[in-house]
Amino acid sequence: MKITPSIRSNFFTNAHPKGCRINVLKQIKEAKNNKAFKGPKNVLIIGGSSGYGLASRIALAYGANANTINVSYESEPRGKRTGSAGFWNNIHFQDLAKETNNIHVDLLGDAFSKETKKTVVNYIKETFGTIDLIIYSLAAGARKDEMTGEIVRSQIKAIGEPVVGKTIDIKSQEIKTITVETATQEDIDNTVFVMGGSDWSDWITFLDTHQVLADGVKTIAYTYVGGSTTNEIYRDGTIGKAKEDLEKTGKALDTKLQKSYDGEAIISSSKAIVSKASVFIPQMPIYVSCLFETMKKHTMHESILNHKHRLFKDMVYGDKRITDDKGRIRIDHHEMDSLIQKETTNLMTNLSDSALLSLKGTKDFLTTFYQINGFRFDEINYNEPLKIVNYLDKFNFKRL
């Protein structure tokens, strides 16, 4: 089968398995060039198949020589379906990371479910005994309420007044004006239920109850703060309410872990990147394009892998922590630099649509989005058919 990009509403419905390997390999190469650091031995990543979860997994597997368990929700290849990029990232990470001689396993399942939590706990008991770090890096559109059986959906909506913004339609490569509707209280509650802190708290409570947390255990979840150009849609909208809830949960978990394990719960505000989740948020494609343009101009751009490497080496396990008045680790301080914010805002507000589309930053944004789904790599001949079943058979994928 020939695999060419298939995009719907800023979302790829397919992925190129060989391109996903290049993606993972690129991050591994970066990780190998980075300085090693003393970190956790056994790490559980919830949402480690793409974006920040995958970068965290690679940074820790190579930088700190850690074992990793990854829980992610990805689609497998079936018939004409290629399987999702995250599915292939998992396959390739495990295959490439055999060289670490450590244990790397994956569970493909719903992180919100009790069944998944039980499977992970059983595995920890059988293999590692205890876990030193839990990374909560989920970006989910829906969560099943196990009490009612209902599927609850998160919403990207404004609070108060509707917001008019712009986004890049990736398929047509046009800039479109969009109106983000006002949320009802139910929309806010649903988004908090899916993307807030309750499931993170459920995980830590479950692991604690089953006595698989090591002394000094740490847990970290990723938030986004952003600036004046993203506030209306992000921080002041439904997703911002979910992040507030996540941050509040972080405080409660911190108290609990400090008391019982001399451990800690951390919230880190990470910089805006190109990921499956972020491209879906209106305004983000334009903001990230202008941000890339500005940060590259000032040679302050940092790859996703290097961002997470610096987070763990310097700020989680090192002594160079930068925190704000809410106690959040601000690894996003380069993005939030006043000059960067000012110049990014200028580009967003003063450039015409065609000038925005011609920016090098926008081109980089688009290329990155294709590449995280395995496309637009010069090394791959996309006209060459790939028999996915045969390709998959080459790998000995360890799943729970």
Q: Does residue number 112 form part of the binding site for ligand NAI (CB under 6 A)?
A: yes
Residue whose CB is nearest to ligand NAI in the complex, by number? 51
Tokens found for residue 4: 């060419």
143: phi then psi, degrees, rounded to nearest 5: -145, 135
Q: Which residues contact 19 (CB under 8 A, 6 or more apart)?
A: 371, 373, 374, 375, 376, 377, 380
**CA dist., res. 49 & res. 310, Å (int):** 20
Residue of 140, 152, 159, 357 that binds ligand NAI (CB under 6 A): 140
Query: Which residue in the set 62, 203, 222, 365 belongs to the binding site for ligand NAI (CB under 6 A)?
Result: 222
Q: Is 237 in the site for ligand NAI (CB under 6 A)?
A: no
The binder of ligand NAI chosen from 15, 135, 277, 388 (CB under 6 A): 277
Q: By CB under 6 A, which span of 42-50, 212-220, 230-238, 346-354 interacts with ligand NAI?
A: 42-50
Nearest distance, CB of residue 116 and ligand NAI, angstroms: 7
Exactly one of 110, 169, 302, 364 binds ligand NAI (CB under 6 A); which one? 110
Residue 282 contacts by C-beta under 8 Å, 6 or more apart in sequence? 156, 165, 166, 167, 178, 180, 233
Q: Please, what is the minimum distance in Å from the beta carbon of residue 168 to ligand NAI?
A: 15
Catalytic, 234? Answer: yes
Q: Which is nearer to ligand NAI, 51 or 165 (CB)?
A: 51
- Candidates 126, 116, 19, 112; CA nearest to 67 is 126
Question: Of 21 and 308, which CB lies nearer to ligand NAI in the complex structure?
Answer: 308
Q: How many CA atoms lie within 13 Å of 280's alpha carbon, on the beta-carbon side? A: 14
Query: 174 has which bridge partners?
Result: 169
Residue closer to ligand NAI by CB (options 113, 261) is 113
Q: Which of 52, 62, 136, 234 is catalytic?
A: 234
- For 195, the token pair is 């993307």
Residue 111's nearest CA partner among 199, 201, 219 is 199
Residue closer to ligand NAI by CB (options 211, 303) is 303
203 counts as binding ligand NAI under rule CB under 6 A? no
Both tokens of 85, joined, read 């990029």
Per CB under 6 A, 368 contacts ligand NAI: no
CA 386 to the chain's CA centroid: 28
Q: How does strand 213-223 pair with strand 264-269?
A: parallel
Supply the minimum distance, in Å, between the C-beta of residue 52 and ligand NAI. Answer: 4
The single residue among 71, 91, 175, 351 that binds ligand NAI, judged by CB under 6 A, is 71
Question: What residues contact 207, with CB distance under 8 A and at least 6 apart?
Answer: 44, 117, 121, 124, 131, 134, 213
Q: Does 28 bind ligand NAI (CB under 6 A)?
A: no
CB of 116 closer than 8 Å to CB of 146 = no
Structure tokens at 347: 């580009």
Binds ligand NAI by CB under 6 A, chosen from 16, 218, 241, 276: 276
272, 290, 311, 315: which one binds ligand NAI (CB under 6 A): 272
Among 42, 167, 270, 344, binds ligand NAI (CB under 6 A): 270
- The per-type count for the chain, helices as H runs and strands as E runs, is 14, 12
Using CB under 6 A, which of the segments 7-15, 161-169, 222-230, 310-318 binds ligand NAI? 222-230
The verdict on 73 binding ligand NAI (CB under 6 A) reads yes
Stretch that binds ligand NAI, among 44-52, 292-300, 358-366, 379-387 (CB under 6 A): 44-52
Task: Yes or no: say if 229 and 185 are a contact pair by the CB < 8 Å rule.
Answer: no
Binding residues for ligand NAI, rule: CB under 6 A, are 47-53, 71-74, 86, 110-112, 137-140, 222-224, 270, 272-273, 275-278
Residues involved in catalysis: 234
